[in-house]
Amino acid sequence: MFCKNIKIINKDGIHCRPSSIIMQKVQEYPDCLFIIESSKGEIDLSSILGLISLGLECGDSVSIKVEGPEEEKVCEEIADIFSTNFGFKS
């Protein structure tokens, strides 16, 4: 399992639109297991509702864990998405 720590920079946190973008990328890798861990809890990233339920806000730190083929590359791709502002002005 590969793990990367990142900080949420989107001023509105991870709400519906960012969650949808993240889930689209996750679905590209059906052979991987994704775990998101924060001070607010830990989820298996197989459900958009699970991700939204974490209530991740700007400034929150999360650990992204990926297990599966090319886990380091896949983890980096997911982490890059989490650490963007999703096209919103900051």
Residue with tokens 């400034």: 59
Asked whether the beta carbons of 62 and 5 are under 8 A apart, the reply is yes
- The question of whether 38 is a catalytic residue gets the answer no
Annotated catalytic residue within 3, 4, 9, 15 = 15
Task: Give CA separation, 43 vs 15, 33, 87, in Å.
Answer: 15, 11, 25
Task: Name the residues annotated as catalytic.
Answer: 15
